[in-house]
A and B are shown apart, each in its own frame.
Chain A
């Protein structure tokens, strides 16, 4: 044991004398662990929230019975099934508006509610009585209570004027949901004796066949291991994970270069230890123990950094998930012990993988091995051929995935294969460029410049790969975001047709506002809209009622349309479908779909397809009058107005005064647009932050590589200095060399990044969200990103260059000094 500790102490003494190398190793491990753990923390937080949502009184985690064609069905079926021994519990679901805000209303029957519905919030026996008995209770999450601006115990009115039972906070409940007794829900939603679904509990014995009890009126839906929300948000979390992985690998690049250099420098030490009688096993064990100990320390620091990164990003991530998918994620971070263990595990595993080559070399090293001449030329050629071959294989995989892959995972697979292939081919690409430079070089220094750059390639290639990947991701994601931003703003300009938007608190106020507006001469048109919800082929669908007004024909953007599409809409037997829903249902213009409505099936011809960016739900746009005919419970609280620009402020002030409307209930187009753009920007704030992180880590990788290389480059530079090239000139040449290879790398990163953007737009977005954006290239943005990469490279190269320029001649002389 003592001997092992002594060997470990000898090995550790290396770091005392190479503090910068030690710092590099730790920085690499910390960088690798930090962003990866941060992203995992965010993903875990989101998954917990999805679980909570899914388990809300038997969400998709519970088997259930639903009507195949209609949104609701008679509760007589529930009675029949209970009598036949089926352990079912009824549930009615709908949306209500309170103070102008739409929330989900869930009616449950607590007595028959299955006990085994995941981790659903439970009602205790003592609470049961007050929940069921008049006046009953409305269970609500604390966040929803705050959002509704209500107090516990209050009984707010919904848009129809009916009052909810008193509000009571149930802490485990998911936000944006109100839970009441099913009888109350039937009254509030005006659906007497109707239920949306029947939750199935654990059967005690053998059940009678479903068809023998209710015929074809109900069908069984099995519980999902993955919720709709989880499926929808897959791409978002995959995106975060991809950034985390990228940073992890870049961090490992740093570790690899630091460990590799340390191994080369410690070769004589290892030989001496072996020559002095330390067994190979003991030395190798000590090397592994040393690495694991360092990974443990760095892993803990990385985890702490990861926690802070996650805490900093979580509010924006929560906003993104709310904006994109309607998912409610708490903004406060809570972590499980397995997150800490996984973080430390990934740090240790990463360190071992990054150091594998060096460790294997150490294990195989014979005691009396002598230094072989450094045949860099032959070694480099072999290495380039091997890597290029691997790159071609990876590109082939990308092509196969592109051709045969149908899923979102396949889309990300194409992206990953593209990036890996490009990283592998990078050294060969640079070698060709540098060789061409060498061939055309005039003058000895220029010749040396190119030749030496080629020789440095193997030492710098990992850092340059990191730069390539980080920059390509930046180019790809920035192009996608900019494309999305411009498309979104253009689309918003068309979609926001009205000049003023009003959201009345209930139908009565809606009627009063309309009457009042009709009397005003400054209002050119009143556009009444409405929204209802239903399910089509098992998918939640929003029905959007549009008024028949020329403004919509002029400005509402349609991606595809039948001839005279807007005219077809008026009678009420045609609809426009959102792009994402058309993809999900595989519906084209000219097809017909059946929409379950309270009065039976509503047959709609598809007359057009429109973009509906940012909406997590599928949507059908129909004539508003037809919508109200088919869905009589549709709240008629949404009003749009056409008003001359100069009259807008006066009208809004008058509306607020007359009807006590707050800023959220009445807003002009500019405010709504600004709010939408603010939400959009916040959605992509996370992406920008992760972009900056990865580029930063790539910059650190380049810096550490240059610092480690700088130490080993003295023997190459000293002869040049000895024959009369000054240190500042040498430093300037070295700087130019680094910037040249960084520039070449950046130039390769631009087309790769555009390819990444194309993959994101044409594959990943379509699979994840259901919409496809037009592909645009923004040359100025590309120039800006290349400039940022060059500045990052300049900053990374500056420190080693300043050190070289200021290096004492004594250090350079040491290269030649055999004795003193």
Chain B
């Protein structure tokens, strides 16, 4: 489903080039759950951003099903994220001016794929039923991340990307949130690529891939 070949990315820092990714190859099958680990600065988040089309690669290819992400225009990448990718971030990145209910429905409505029944199921499974009228600032970290996961899965994406989704949560909450995510990923049948520092959490997924100095170790 996801096929990455010879992917490279270089940033410039203080005038010096920093080679973050140096020819990454990675495959993800449909429904497969993969943990991406590695030390700080190894390029995990950059790889995730390139897959999501948030940034453009310098070289190599990323193919999601039949779409070559690296060849898409800015608008094409936006459409890809809207329709086929779900994104979860460490900082939750909810929309503070909208209620929980509106945040949950936001992406699905934008994509024109709002499914009321699926939405109800998500709310129930994520335990958000009593929080729908609240605003993000009125939620705990774990609750906010559950809303972010619900928002990302509301479109039934083919790939869910998560960048340290439990980084801001305590261990117990992190395990709960990840368990929920795993269940929902299985329920939707989408692929799941998660960046994490936690080997313990990484071990709960199907496969672990480690990045080291910009390459798959």
Contacts and interface: CB of A to CB of B under 8 A. Distances in A.
B93 A455 contact: no
B33 to A, nearest CB: 21
Contact of B82 (A448, A455, A723, A819): A723
B129 interface: no
Contact of B110 (A715, A724, A810): A724
A720 B95 contact: yes
A377 B135 contact: yes
B25 interface: no
B41 interface: yes
A724 to B, nearest CB: 3
A820 B20 contact: yes
Interface stretch (A52-60, A368-376, A535-543): A368-376
B107 A376 contact: no
Interface residues of B, number: 45
Contact of A448 (B52, B90, B95, B163): B95
B97 A448 contact: yes
A447 B98 contact: yes
Nearest to A372: B137
Contacts of B137: 373-377
B55 interface: yes
A392 interface: no
Contacts of B11: 810, 820
B175 interface: no
12 contacts: A376-B137, A444-B110, A451-B102, A716-B97, A720-B95, A724-B107, A725-B82, A726-B78, A809-B55, A810-B11, A818-B91, A820-B41
B54 A443 contact: no
Given A374-B137, A444-B110, A820-B11, A719 B41 contact: no
Interface stretch (B42-50, B59-67, B185-193, B202-210): B42-50
A813 interface: yes
A724 B81 contact: yes
Contacts of A720: 95
Interface string A427-451: 0000000000000000111011001
B47 to A, nearest CB: 11
A95 interface: no
Contacts of A499: none
- The 4 closest A-B CB pairs, nearest first, are A724-B82, A444-B109, A451-B97, A455-B97
A376 B94 CA distance: 14
B91 A723 contact: no
Interface in B70-114: 74-75, 78-83, 87, 89-91, 93-98, 102, 105-107, 109-111
Contact of A812 (B44, B54, B97, B138): B54
A816 B102 contact: no
A433 to B, nearest CB: 16
A819 B45 contact: yes
B75 A809 contact: no
B40 interface: yes
A718 B81 CA distance: 13
Contacts of A722: 52, 54, 81, 87, 89, 93
B94 A816 contact: no
A452 B102 CA distance: 12
A156 to B, nearest CB: 79
Nearest to A450: B97
B87 A723 contact: yes
Interface of B: 11, 20, 40-41, 43-46, 49, 52, 54-56, 74-75, 78-83, 87, 89-91, 93-98, 102, 105-107, 109-111, 135, 137-138, 151, 163-164, 167
Given A455-B97, A725-B110, A813-B54, A820 B164 contact: no
A815 B93 contact: yes
A816 B96 contact: no
A724 B90 contact: no
Contacts of B151: 723
Nearest to B134: A377
A638 interface: no
A820 B43 contact: yes
Given A723-B81, A809-B54, A819-B45, A445 B93 contact: no
Contacts of A444: 102, 105-106, 109-110
Contact of A719 (B40, B45, B79, B94): B94
B96 A817 contact: no
Contacts of B105: 444
Interface string A190-214: 0000000000000000000000000
A357 B113 CA distance: 47
Given A818-B90, A820-B41, A455 B81 contact: no
Contacts of B110: 444-445, 723-725
B24 to A, nearest CB: 14
A767 interface: no
A726 B45 contact: no
Contacts of A812: 54
Given A719-B89, A810-B55, 15 more contacts: A375-B137, A444-B106, A447-B102, A448-B102, A451-B98, A721-B78, A722-B52, A723-B82, A723-B107, A725-B82, A726-B74, A809-B54, A813-B55, A819-B45, A820-B41
A718 B79 contact: no
A450 to B, nearest CB: 9
A445 B52 CA distance: 21
A454 interface: yes
A719 B46 contact: no
Contacts of A447: 98, 102
A607 to B, nearest CB: 70
Interface in A769-820: 809-810, 812-813, 815-820
A271 interface: no
B179 to A, nearest CB: 22
A718 B55 CA distance: 13
A455 B97 CA distance: 6
**Which among B40, B74, B78 has the highest number of chain A CB atoms within 10 Å?**
B78
Interface string A448-463: 1001101100000000
**Which among B44, B95, B97 has the highest number of chain A CB atoms within 10 Å?**
B97
Contacts of B45: 816-820
A817 B79 CA distance: 21
